[in-house]
Chains A and B, each alone.
Chain A
Amino acid sequence: MSLGKLAERLLHLVPVLLGVSVIVFLMMALTPGDPVDIMIGDQNVTPQQEQAMREDLGLDLPVHRQFFVFLGNAVQGDFGTSFYHRRPVLDVIVERLPATIELSLVALIIALVTAIPLGVLAAIRRNSILDKMATVGSLLGVSLPGFWFGILLLMLFAVHLQLLPVSGRIGFDSEIEPITHFLLIDTLLRGRPDAFWDALKHILLPAITLGLPMTAILMRVTRTSMLEVMRQDYIVFAEAKGLKRGRILFRHALKNALIPTVSVAAIETGSLLGGNMIVETVFGWPGLGRLVVESVFLRNYPLVQAAVLFYAVTYVLLNFIADILYTTLNPRVKL
């Protein structure tokens, strides 16, 4: 893995970001609805005041001029001001980011720790009831709409059984002074196990909802690659060596079978970003995803634009990480 490769990837990012910016700009120009109209609502405002607002936000310029103004500023690291918050877009995004990252990481962990053992088990007990249930389950997992599954969980665990909170990131009584802004960590750092428990209860349902499609995909990938690996000569040779079954399964087979699983996990983490918008909205999670959805409704163009660019960068980086993982795990491949 060389710095050259990294530089090359970063260079690839330039056309991607440019293309994404154009598309987002076009989409916002073509969607009906006007940010100034939305801000004004039913207040009484004179046409002069309205015109002033437009000029203030730079919306009086033709669309292509707006784009070049945005581009000129963005190159200098200025992504504009959120219409709604009246603060720099970047500040608002950074503020919301920890909640989203924390939720995504927990979803990723849940997906990995359930998908890998299930996939291995389904493979070694091929065609058993368990394998068939896992197959059906994973089919449902990828095809159920996330919001529907989330609402189902909400109704069952939060509304009916009242075991878990309905929305938010942490209860009012458990608010703590942030350190890392990851609540599961900060609550422990502050020595508040009760608050940790509260944060955990809040994150559980959204993380499960968010992680479900990924769990389903990773389980299928693990099962398939495990079956493929178990047919290989080196597994027969390992058996001929008289090694214990556990060693054959978990050292010889799994080490090879996990190579595709881990790479797919890294790539699929990118798709968690999209899932975040839905899940955060359903569960009132104060992260970037919900912010983006709200901003779309408010026609808060600068924020949507910057957030989408951020998603694009993250996506490309995750693909890069997937490649690195693939190389590190697979001694045969040299990047």
Chain B
Amino acid sequence: MSRNENLLEVDGLRTVFDTSEGVVRAVDGVDVTVRRGECLGVVGESGSGKSVTFSSVMGLVRSPGRIESGAIRFEGQDLTRLSTREMRAIRGRDISMTMQDALTALNPALTVGEQLSEMLDAHDDDLPARGAARRRAIRDRSVEMLRLVGIPSPESRLGQYPHEFSGGMRQRIMIAIALAPGPKLLIADEPTTALDVTIQAQVLELISDIRARLGMSVVLITHDLGVVAEHCDRVMVMYAGQVVEEGSTVDVISNPQHPYTRGLLGSIPRLSLRGKPIRPIQGQVPNLVGLPPQCRFYSRCPERTDACLQSVEMRSVGPDRRARCIALTQEEVA
């Protein structure tokens, strides 16, 4: 795999939260690779560290959280070494993000037009430098973006506030904002969890559609494996702050290696993968404070043995395929 095919490479990311109960290891040694133009699905139960991983990539982890170690390379540049100002120029312009609930992510006191145009104003270099020409160009681009995401009569809606739109429309508006500067990577954090089923499908179609048209990469965070099956090239399964399995979507779904992935798949009716949030396996995600150095899935794993009471590393289990389970036969190290 040639190196510059990878848009984003995260190595050994550890993000922790200092709390009164102790250090919460929310992201504990996570590696991520996102290739140019691909859609990477990220799945796992709530609390497995999906959002914190990608907030770290965006440089948005706030106190009491901090990135303890790890490298985050975007187009070869380590983002953890950038100044606040340099990072600000990358956010929005190169890497954009949408949040789970557009109702809370859009500012209730500002018009949709303002929230869209400020994004263009901050990042779009193709606009006229200043003055009325710039304002007109921003307005035109805003209308164009709203049209792209399927908002009817966009000109008349720029002056409206988020609460004047339906849930699905708000989600589209947030996507329009995120995509306005033409980013290379879109991180869509649970873009459909807050929506009802018919609208979910439309919004996902929209994201896939635009990805194909603009040729950007997408990280689709979800806890619905059905969504991944339909929209993603590759998938990364997370559990308790770690990646437990990774590979092409087809491989992972047809031949899951990790007991947790099997559990996730087993919880979904075979024919219609699309469904409710997964709550597959008995038990709960362990407390992330002071975890013992053993397989994190141990307490819930139907296949556990005493051999699992040691720390378990990611292993390669096939071409482009990795999993974190001691029971797997390790592929020859290349």
Interface residues of A (CB under 8 A from B): 232-234, 236-244, 247, 251-252, 255-256, 259, 329-332
Contacts and interface: CB of A to CB of B under 8 A. Distances in A.
A251 B161 CA distance: 15
A108 to B, nearest CB: 23
13 contacts: A233-B99, A234-B108, A238-B107, A239-B60, A241-B119, A242-B92, A242-B123, A243-B92, A243-B119, A243-B122, A244-B88, A331-B161, A331-B163
Contacts of B108: 234, 256, 330-332
Contact of B107 (A242, A244, A252, A329): A252
B60 A236 contact: yes
B93 A234 contact: no
A330 B109 contact: yes
Interface of B: 58, 60, 88-93, 96-97, 99, 101, 104-110, 118-119, 122-123, 161, 163, 174, 177-178
A236 to B, nearest CB: 6
Given A243-B92, A329-B109, 7 more contacts: A233-B104, A234-B104, A239-B91, A241-B92, A252-B110, A331-B163, A332-B163
Contacts, number: 74
A233 B194 CA distance: 14
A332 B161 contact: yes
Question: Which 5 pairs from chain A and chain B are nearest by CB?
Answer: A242-B92, A242-B91, A233-B104, A237-B105, A331-B161
Contacts of B107: 234, 237-238, 252, 255-256
B109 A256 contact: yes
Contacts of A232: 104
B110 A255 contact: yes
Candidate in A234, A242, A244, A331 with the most chain B CB atoms within 10 angstroms: A242
Contact of A255 (B88, B91, B109, B163): B109
Nearest to B59: A239
A255 B34 CA distance: 38
A240 B122 contact: no
B163 A242 contact: no
Contacts of B89: 242
Given A233-B105, A255-B110, A241 B118 contact: yes
Contacts of B123: 242
A242 B93 contact: yes
A240 B110 contact: no
A234 B173 CA distance: 13
A176 B101 CA distance: 62
Contact of A241 (B104, B109, B177): B177
A244 B122 contact: yes
A252 B177 CA distance: 15
A331 B115 CA distance: 15
Contacts of A255: 107, 109-110
